[in-house]
Structure 1
Amino acid sequence: MAKQQPVPQLRTAGGIRYELTRKRVKNLNIRVREDGTVAVSIPLRTSAEAADRFVAARAAWVQQAQARARRRSLQDARPLPDKETALAHFTAMSDKVYPAFAGVLGGQKPTIKVRSMTSRWGVCHMAKRQITFALQLYNQPEAAQIYVVVHEYCHFLQPNHSPAFWAEVAKLLPDWKARRNLLK
């Protein structure tokens, strides 16, 4: 016998329209989907009114997440360039950042690559002296692109995300947090 899926109930609280589903979960959970719709799951014995209070208390966060989802969908709607175009773009951007790292890299520029990535904007392979950028980064604001380039170069100085790493990023980009937020 097939397990019956719970039927979501449409509700509104705090100006937020959402789908409420009762599940075998311990906590109340809220999720803003890629299309901006809101899903809330609650334990089986929790009241719908408790879910309404939960959503209303988080209305500002939900609205921010929906705005991010709208921005992402607009950026995703723009066509991506071919890899050669993106590689030329990120290589030129990298060439501007490289002089600050020439000493630590022994005067040898890292290899720049581009590939489609869904969960990262860039990857630094220190041992290979290689930085790979996400093709999707091309459609992000230029300030955010520069942040990713600097971020990946800083891994040649600090391999992790320790406070020392962020201090290196801040030396070149004092506004790195605002730039990083453009990617969220």
Structure 2
Amino acid sequence: MSLTTIAGFEIDLVRKRMRSLRLTVYAGGRIRVAVPLHTSVAAVEQFITARRAWIEKHQQQFSTREPRPSLHYTSGEQYPYQGRAYELVVETGRAHVTLDETAGQLRLRVPADSSAAQREAVLVAFYRQQLKQLVPELLLKWEPVVGRPAASWGVKQMRTRWGTCNIGARRIWLNLELMKRPLLCLEYVVVHELTHLHERLHNARFWGLMDQFMPDWRTHKAELNRVHLAPGTPSDAD
């Protein structure tokens, strides 16, 4: 990666075939600017200078995000579920997960000779099942508010986005990791993706619609983005 200093920032400047300039701030504060092939340095500097406050704000946000813990899927470790930390209790038996809210425990039952990867797979399947149970109810709640129904939806593991929307197919995807965040964070992403069925871009019209549909979306977005999805990558709904 080749870095250059522009407008007082160290920039990873990438020239490629594209129509407009694109700015990304990554975890750790790294700044990447992708620009059309023949864009002048002066134009890049003007672009970055105009966005200085935005860059500094996002660098600060990344510096305060919670680090991702190193997990081994053994008893005593803490695992999040809907924004609350639960103690993992590993037991011997047929693969199954039980949520004990009163005791604050996730009880993971697995064969005695299970590996960490196998224990992880059972827990991931539990998160997926729980999220899939929640989504239909949330769509019933929010589709009338937004005024745009999704034709279909799905859940998958994503490294850089909490959600995505295929506008042509009217299909939304939700990140499996949302099951670990507070329920209102999941609702924010659902509303965010449905709003893309009105407006493709993250422009003034899009955020104005978000203000209309979910006035407190900024609070939920800030809570959601307190954690990293993956090292070195930005995380947001798309």
Aligned length: 131
Contact 2:138 2:187 (8 Å CA) reproduced:
yes
Q: Please state how far the C-alpha of 1:175 moved relative to its aligned partner.
A: 1.7
Match for residue 87 of structure 2?
Answer: none
Contact 2:146 2:213 (8 Å CA) reproduced:
no
Poorly superposed stretches of 4+, deviation over 2 Å: 24-29, 64-67, 76-85
Task: Give CA-to-partner distance per residue, 1:146-174, whole Å, 9 cap, x none.
Answer: 11111000001111111000000110221
C-alpha separation in 1, matches of 2:69 and 2:191: 26
- What SS does the corresponding residue of 1:68 show, helix, strand or coil? coil
Identity %: 24
**1:140 partner amino acid:** R
- What SS does the corresponding residue of 1:69 show, helix, strand or coil? coil
Instruction: Write out aligned runs for 1:84-99 (5 A).
Output: 84-99=129-144
Among residues 153, 160, 171, which one is paired with 2:194 in the alignment?
Answer: 153
Choose between structure 1 and 2 for higher RCO, CA contacts under 8 A separated by at least 6 residues: 2
Match for residue 19 of structure 1?
Answer: none
In the alignment, structure 2 segments of 5+ residues that lack a partner are 11-25, 29-55, 71-77, 81-122, 226-238
C-alpha separation in 2, matches of 1:96 and 1:73: 34
From the superposition, tell whether residues 88 and 66 of structure 1 become closer, same or farther in structure 2 (CA, over 3 Å).
same
In the alignment, structure 1 segments of 5+ residues that lack a partner are 1-23, 34-57
Match for residue 184 of structure 2?
Answer: 143
Give the TM-score normalised by the residue count of structure 2.
0.46
Give the TM-score normalised by the residue count of structure 1.
0.57
User: Larger helix proportion, structure 1 or 2?
Assistant: 1
Contact 1:131 1:152 (8 Å CA) reproduced:
yes
Match for residue 156 of structure 2?
Answer: 115
For the aligned residue pairs, the C-alpha RMSD in angstroms reads 3.4
Task: Give CA-to-partner distance per residue, 1:11-68, whole Å, 9 cap, x none.
Answer: xxxxxxxxxxxxx965687x976xxxxxxxxxxxxxxxxxxxxxxxx9xx77x64542
User: Larger strand proportion, structure 1 or 2?
Assistant: 2
